[in-house]
Amino acid sequence: MRIAHFDCFSGISGDMVLGAFLDAGLPLDTLRSELKKLGIKGYTLSAKKESRHHIAGTRLTCRVSKSVKQPERNLKAILKLINASTLSKRVKADAAAIFTRLGEAEATVHNMPIEKIHFHEVGAVDSILDIVGAAVAIQQLGIERVTSSPVPLGSGTIRAAHGVLPVPAPATARLLKGVPVYQSGVEQELVTPTGAAILTHYASDYPGFPAMAIEAVGYGVGSRHLEARPNLLRVVIGEAEATAQHEAMDVIETNVDDMTGELVGALFERLFAAGALDVYVTPLLMKKNRPGHLITVLCDPSKTSELVELLLMETTTFGVRTYRTHKYSLERESKTVKTPYGPVKVKIGSLGGKTLTVSPEYESCRKLAKNKRVPLKEIYAAAEAAARNLI
């Protein structure tokens, strides 16, 4: 699997993304020819080597001609522009999804319907080219998975079309929901809305450097010179060996010793309805020798705040604990096998294209056992026997 890792030690912006991919081997002529398919007139793209803190990278510059009037484009106009082009289906889909992500963030921030949002800065020509260009680069370089480091945030204020805004900009903060961030101490905008939208569309998780055989390293140069750090975005591209699927996950825990079984049972239903991936209870012996329970919830990081609030509301606890962990899992696929009693659904787990395990679906087996009036264990045995042919 070909993987790209964004090392965002100085943040991320759209032009830095393209600069990094160009520095890693994407031909500028290829980028230009693909972007011409949008039909936008009155701009030129150039790339040159520059250094930040004695580290060389590629800086992409988009110059828009003042003689060609560019319209102020809303989301509908941008999506129409993309869909009417002759770009590939994958590039169109990715670019449209990134712009929709931006539009939703802006609509939420301004409390307006998404169709009334005018993008201003992110609807400008250079931002359109940055987003579509990023989609082109991902496809042209054959990248199948994207990961990222945690993202540093700047501070202070910036002047935008809506006036003076805090850093990170409101739309940027919204886009980074669920992303691990940290304060950099730099009084500059390090993450732009365009950069945040590209990153959060593609990045599947935010670990340290993933295991890979490195093939290329590129540095995208930012426009400003920062005293505290080199203003660069590093992209590392390589081939990852077949490994279990990896994703970040949050664990929420709390100890209780004064809840009845009815309350605990009802809690499960509420947690799963709110987006918990798994919930389980472990018996404990707590202080003063009281029997109690450890309630553990596994969830996507984007659901943590909501589930923490639900635990505080629905249990008798005075506090909960959370921490980030990582889940490794097999690739899953659902198939149906034939048995003497009828068809049964099974889950297939594979790694690197090799099937490792097959498990009959409980509900499928239970319904068939009830309809055929045979023991559930016989349905399981028949399904497992039929499934062995798939391994």
Q: What is the DSSP string of 55-75?
A: EEEEEEEEEE-TTSPPP--BH
**Cα radius of gyration (the chain):** 25
The closest alpha carbon to 17, from 203, 198, 202, 151, belongs to 198
Q: Which helix H or strand E contains 148, and what residues bound it?
A: strand 145-148
Indicate the angle between helix axes 125-140 and 193-202, nearest 10 degrees.
Answer: 20
The per-residue pLDDT for 243 is 60
Q: Is the peptide bond before 230 cis (omega within 30 degrees of 0)?
A: no
Return the DSSP state at 243.
-
The per-residue pLDDT for 123 is 46
Cβ atoms < 10 Å from Cβ of 208: 10
Please check whether residue 138 is in contact with residue 199, taking contact to mean a CB–CB distance below 8 angstroms: no
DSSP strands (E only) in 150-210: 151-153, 157-160, 163-166, 181-183, 203-205
The closest alpha carbon to 128, from 139, 136, 116, belongs to 136
Please check whether residue 62 is in contact with residue 129, taking contact to mean a CB–CB distance below 8 angstroms: yes
Residues 37, 85: Cα–Cα separation, whole Å = 6
The closest alpha carbon to 192, from 218, 229, 219, 165, belongs to 165
pTM given for the model? 0.67
Q: Which residues contact 234 (CB under 8 A, 6 or more apart)?
A: 6, 7, 9, 20, 217, 218, 219, 220
Residues 84, 86: Cα–Cα separation, whole Å = 7
Residues 132, 258: Cα–Cα separation, whole Å = 56
Domains of the chain: 2-239 (no CATH), 246-329 (3.30.70.1380), 331-390 (3.10.20.300)
Six-digit token string for 159: 């002047």
The per-residue pLDDT for 112 is 76
Residues 295, 280: Cα–Cα separation, whole Å = 6
Per-block mean pLDDT, blocks of 10 residues, the chain (391 long): 94 96 97 96 93 96 86 85 95 93 84 68 77 97 93 84 80 90 90 94 82 94 92 94 69 92 89 93 90 93 89 93 83 88 90 81 93 93 84 67
In Å, how far from its chain's centre is CA 342?
Answer: 40
CA angle, residues 46, 127, 15, in degrees to nearest 5: 50
Residues 89, 75: Cα–Cα separation, whole Å = 19
The per-residue pLDDT for 122 is 45
Cα dihedral sign, 253-258-262-266? negative
Please name the residue that has the structure tokens 């980028």: 31
3-state SS, residue 294: strand
Please name the residue that has the structure tokens 């056992």: 369
Tabulate helix, strand, coil % of the chain (nearest 5).
Answer: 40, 35, 30
The closest alpha carbon to 232, from 4, 5, 17, belongs to 17
Q: Which residues contact 218 (CB under 8 A, 6 or more apart)?
A: 19, 20, 21, 22, 23, 24, 25, 57, 58, 234, 235, 237
